[in-house]
Amino acid sequence: MPQIIEIFTHLLFEENVLIVAEDVENLLPVMFAIKSFLYPLRLGVFVPHLHDDGNEGYSNNLSSVTAPFVYFFGIDTRSQSMAQEFIEEDDRVGPLVVELRERKRQRNPVNHEQKISASNIK
């Protein structure tokens, strides 16, 4: 959980945060959940999914990661390398970049033969 504290700290101090996820289906709920935890505080610019629009250079949407205003952006991993290039070209302090990793949960096998009943409880 230290990453969530780091994200909130950056947002509360009005520093830029960039969340990266492999899948947009995972990215959007995380972005909106973090935003909802900050309510009633307002963020600078909130874009839950900033995508590569295919334009060259700074006319690309991803060039917004070098913007001089406070932002909280989400991008997918396919756009990460281009966003990172823009960040490295900029001479200001870059955003906090957090990569979401998908956790695979192991399900405990259920033994249907062993049923819990009042007679089994001691």
Phi, then psi, of 110 in degrees rounded to 5: -95, 130
Q: How confident is the model at residue 4 (pLDDT cuts 50, 70, 90)?
A: confident
Give bridge partners of residue 17 from the DSSP assignment. Answer: 72, 96
Q: Which residues of 38-63 are buried (b: 16+ CB within 10 A; e: fewer)?
A: eeeeeeeebebebebeeeeeeebbbb
pTM exceeds 0.75, yes or no: yes
pLDDT digits (tens, 9 = 90+) for 17-69: 999 999 889 899 999 999 998 888 888 899 999 988 888 888 888 889 998 89
C-alpha separations of 55 from 41, 59, 70, 106 in Å: 34, 6, 23, 42
d(CA 29, CA 34): 9
pLDDT of residue 98: 92
- Residue ranges covered by each domain of the chain: 2-99
pLDDT exceeds 50 at position 103:
yes
Report the chain's mean pLDDT, rounded to a whole number. Answer: 83
Q: Which CATH superfamily is domain 2-99 in?
A: DENN domain, C-terminal lobe (3.40.50.11500)
